[in-house]
């Protein structure tokens, strides 16, 4: 356990330093430095005003004791002036702190988001590293990290300045009181660490448990129709109840630790108010000091203890912050690992007008079964291919390996660059936002007109679908707005707008009729776009130039078809065997 705590502390410090270095080196660095310098200047001003306030308060109370109306009025005006200036300085201090906080959050969030989306890290992050809930870590943990880190950093700097400023004040009042303050703060810090150390581990687990529960709720919302049709409510009730029990059980343990810690920290804070009076009041009673000195000593003692007792007063926040820091550090390391991890030996090269498989071997994700053995095949632009097999796993693995998202296997794949090849999965995907943006490849928005889009839409018979949702500028979550068939056809429209060299269609017969697929194939042939179709339903009853048959043991055969009826019947037999 001691080793675990040491590792967490090291993670916290390492992450803190690296985050500061990244901020300083980013394009926001100069502005962040300006805000930081302003904060330090304002911090000095606040501490100077606090020291001045302690002396003004002392003289104000002494004037009341001496019943000196003139000095009382003067000190009252001075008191009000100090309060007014302090208010202005504190407001600008808070404003500058928040500006620096949002600047840092923007920089760190975008750095992680960019890394998360680059090189398809989002796709293989879990499988490569096992890091759970990366979305929650990027959104919520970054916010907590930047806000809390900035707050703690300023508290430490301000505490140091306060300790220096008020140590002299308290020492001038009573060296004994100063010594008591130091001993009291050190003792309180040690006790707080001993009582609260389990909070770090519990807070770390709580963040993951909350994210898991929220993730399952989102899953229910996104798959509500499938769950309703399959009557799987009972399964999800049990799953959500298990998630809820876990997070509430952990939270109850957090509450118990906080309760025990609260007994000590509250008593600690209450005694701060009376200790100065216990030591200074006898001096006043003996006539050795003025009454205002009691007020001044109380303020100086409380302020100094506040500076010395950051761990006592902020331990609950520190424990949560430590958990957040460790989680972000693990996410950052996981992203780096995903970028540099290459768990298979499938090599990819680019060629503009063909797809070539050289000794491609594929396995299941757990390496328990051979899916495809030493495939050697060339697919040229403009050709029409059908992939068949006894099950879908081998075909889908080859589909994904061609798209560079299947990691289990070896060999070499030569294909067009990702701007010249498209992969349409069995379940189509239309990103939320404007419909025209969903139909166009990234970067084509400014060079493609609405008229060009509508020509393709009309040719595919989708003009009524587009009109129904309000035109190309309409914005919506398209999964809820369109049927699967409509989503598939709109994804087909995206192919004709992108004009790739070759397109791979994963089992289009799942959502489109044979006649519609035939029409699409003819349109692709007109534009000399090569097509590879993974067979499932009616696709195999159409004409193809060649057919790749993948067998159960990973062996494969290539059959070159013709326009003859015998070839059509052969394709039908192949489809039935699937």
Asked whether 57 and 292 are in contact (CB, 8 A), the reply is yes
User: 2-340: what CATH class?
Assistant: mainly alpha
Average pLDDT for 10-17: 66
Neighbours of 377 (CB within 10 A): 16
Q: What is the mean pLDDT of the chain?
A: 80
The C-alpha angle with vertex 277 and arms to 271 and 283, in degrees rounded to 5, equals 150
- Looking at residue 530, its pLDDT comes to 93
| % of the chain exceeding 70 in pLDDT | 85
* pLDDT tens by residue, 188-227: 878 887 887 787 778 778 877 887 888 888 878 777 766 7
**Residue 493: pLDDT band with limits 50, 70, 90:** very high
Instruction: Provide the 10 A C-beta neighbour count for residue 261.
Output: 21
From-to residues of CATH 1.20.1560.10 in the chain:
2-340
| Per-residue pLDDT at 1 | 43
CB under 8 Å, gap of 24 or more: what pairs does 161-166 form?
161/43, 161/44, 161/47, 162/47, 162/50, 162/303, 162/304, 162/306, 162/307, 163/304, 163/307, 163/308, 165/47, 165/48, 165/50, 165/51, 166/50, 166/51, 166/54, 166/300, 166/303, 166/304, 166/307
pLDDT band per the 50, 70, 90 thresholds, residue 358: very high
DSSP 408: S
Residues in the chain: 578
| pLDDT tops 90 at residue 398 | yes
CB 382 within 8 A of CB 528: yes
Strand bridging mode 546-550 / 556-560: antiparallel
Looking at residue 138, what DSSP letter applies?
A: I
Beta carbons within 10 angstroms of residue 226's beta carbon: 9
Backbone angles phi, psi at 106, to 5 degrees: -60, -45
pLDDT band with cut points at 50, 70 and 90 for residue 365 = confident
Average of per-residue pLDDT across 41-68: 82
Does 162 score more than 80 pLDDT?
no
Is 70 exceeded by the pLDDT of residue 577?
no
Q: Where in the chain is the domain with CATH 3.40.50.300?
A: 345-430+482-577
User: Rounded to whole angstroms, how far apart are CA atoms 209 and 245?
Assistant: 10
Instruction: Give me the CATH code for the 345-430+482-577 domain, please.
Output: 3.40.50.300
The fraction of the chain above a pLDDT of 90, given in percent, is 15
Cβ neighbours of residue 203 under 8 Å, at least 6 residues apart? Answer: 254, 319, 320, 322, 323
Can you give the pLDDT at residue 570?
37
Instruction: Name the more confident of 569 and 381.
Output: 381
Site of tokens 């004040």: 169
The answer to whether residues 268 and 315 touch, using CB atoms and an 8 Å cutoff, is no
Q: Locate 123 and state its tokens.
A: 């796709």
User: How far is 91 from 99, CA to CA, in rounded Å?
Assistant: 12
What is the pTM for the complete model shown?
A: 0.59
């Amino acid at each position: 356990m001691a080793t675990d705590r040491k590792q967490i502390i090291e993670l916290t410090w390492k992450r803190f330093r690296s985050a500061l270095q990244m901020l300083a080196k980013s394009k926001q660095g100069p502005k962040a430095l300006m805000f930081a310098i302003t904060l330090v200047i304002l911090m000095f001003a606040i501490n100077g005003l606090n020291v001045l306030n302690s002396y003004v308060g002392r003289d104000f109370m002494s004037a009341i004791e001496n019943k000196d109306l003139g000095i009382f009025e003067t000190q009252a005006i001075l008191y009000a002036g100090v309060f007014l200036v302090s208010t202005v300085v504190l407001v600008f201090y808070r404003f500058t702190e928040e500006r620096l906080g949002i600047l840092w959050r923007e920089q760190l969030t975008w750095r992680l988001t960019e890394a998360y989306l680059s090189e398809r890290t989002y796709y293989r992050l879990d499988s490569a590293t096992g890091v759970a809930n990366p979305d929650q870590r990027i959104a919520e943990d970054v916010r907590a990290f930047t806000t809390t880190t900035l707050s703690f950093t300023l508290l430490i700097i301000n505490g140091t300045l306060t300790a220096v400023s008020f140590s002299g004040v308290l020492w001038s009042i009573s060296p004994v009181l100063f010594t008591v303050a130091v001993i009291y703060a050190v003792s309180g810090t040690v006790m707080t660490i001993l009582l609260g150390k389990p909070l770090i581990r519990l807070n770390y687990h709580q963040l993951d448990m909350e994210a898991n529960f929220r993730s399952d709720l989102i899953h229910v919302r996104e798959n509500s129709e499938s769950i309703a049709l399959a009557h799987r409510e009972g399964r999800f009730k049990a799953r959500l109840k298990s998630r809820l029990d876990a997070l509430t059980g952990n939270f109850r343990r957090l509450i118990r630790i906080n309760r025990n810690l609260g007994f000590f920290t509250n008593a600690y804070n209450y005694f701060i108010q009376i200790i100065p009076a216990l030591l200074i009041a006898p001096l006043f009673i003996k006539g050795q000091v003025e009454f205002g000195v009691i007020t001044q000593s109380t303020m100086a003692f409380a302020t100094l203890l506040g500076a010395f007792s950051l761990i006592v007063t902020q331990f609950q926040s520190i424990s949560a912050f430590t958990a957040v820091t460790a989680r972000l550090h693990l996410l950052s390391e996981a992203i780096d690992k995903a970028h540099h991890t290459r768990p298979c030996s499938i090599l990819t090269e680019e060629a503009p007008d063909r797809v070539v498989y050289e000794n491609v071997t594929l396995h299941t994700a757990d390496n328990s079964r051979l899916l495809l053995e030493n495939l050697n095949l060339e697919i040229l632009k403009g050709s029409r291919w059908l992939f068949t097999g006894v099950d879908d796993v081998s075909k889908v693995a080859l589909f994904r390996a061609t798209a560079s998202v299947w990691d289990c296997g070896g060999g070499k794949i030569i294909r067009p660059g990702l701007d010249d090849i498209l992969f349409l999965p069995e379940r189509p995907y239309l990103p939320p936002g404007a419909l025209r943006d969903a139909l166009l490849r990234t970067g084509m928005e400014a060079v493609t007109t609405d008229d060009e889009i509508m020509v393709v839409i009309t040719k595919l018979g989708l003009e009524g679908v587009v009109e129904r949702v309000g035109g190309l500028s309409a914005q919506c979550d398209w999964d809820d707005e369109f049927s699967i068939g409509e989503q598939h056809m709109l994804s087909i429209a995206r192919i004709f707008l992108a004009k790739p060299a070759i397109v791979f269609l994963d089992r289009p017969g799942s959502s489109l009729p044979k006649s519609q697929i035939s029409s699409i194939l003819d349109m692709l042939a007109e534009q000399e776009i090569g097509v590879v179709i993974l067979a499932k339903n009616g696709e195999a009853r159409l004409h193809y130039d060649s057919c790749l048959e993948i067998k159960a043991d990973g062996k494969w055969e290539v059959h070159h078809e013709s326009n003859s009826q015998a070839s059509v019947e052969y394709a039908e037999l192949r489809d039935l065997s699937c």
